[in-house]
Amino acid sequence: MIVGYARVSTNHQDTELQLISLRAAGCEIVYEEKASGRNANRPILKSVIANLAAGDELVLWKLDRMGRNTLHVLLLFQKLVEKGVYLRSITDAVDVRSASGRYNFRNILSAAQYESDLNSERTKAGLAAAKLKGHFAGRIAKLSQSDWYRAKLMLKAGISRKSIAREFNIGLSTVYKYLPVNH
């Protein structure tokens, strides 16, 4: 049986191109998953691999759909080899039935890991540069220090946290975070 696996990282992405390619490649069944490639816990992929049998073929649109971590992908590949399942990647032109296919598989995995590492380094460098300029990651605080001081005074004056949340148009959990009960 020829089985396809398509994955995207977020709900804002779709698998349409992957699905079209997998069906054109002869996949009889295609499974889809929305999960980060860095996340090793992908239940659909685990289920697909568990249900494949000797002689089956797992087809991917691209090798990085299996994951971004080289070690994790190699371990998954080892499971496939042990079960007698073939692996094919459409866009990477990899078919592990041949020595060159296995060689290309390992090279492409190394390149994908390198790309992932570079992206991570660039992100960290960008965050560090922004921090030096006084910019911080995350959402801009809705309330200033003086707003929180005023909220604290309101609380001391007997105004409820719920009323404070309404007054500043913030969530009640935010009020409890900055003005805890033992405060």
CA distances in angstroms from 94 to 16, 63, 101, 152, listed in the order given: 21, 8, 5, 63
Those residues whose C-beta lies under 8 Å from the C-beta of residue 152, and which sit 6 or more positions away, are 179, 183
Q: What is the Cα–Cα distance from 183 to 176, expressed in whole angstroms? A: 10
- Going by C-alpha positions, the residue among 118, 15, 102 that lies closest to residue 60 is 15
- Among 9, 21, 110, 160, the one annotated catalytic: 9
Can 110 be counted among the known catalytic residues?
A: no
3-state SS string for 4-35: EEEEECCCCCCCHHHHHHHHHCCCCEEEEEEC
- What letter would DSSP give residue 141? P
Those residues whose C-beta lies under 8 Å from the C-beta of residue 39, and which sit 6 or more positions away, are none
Active site residues: 9
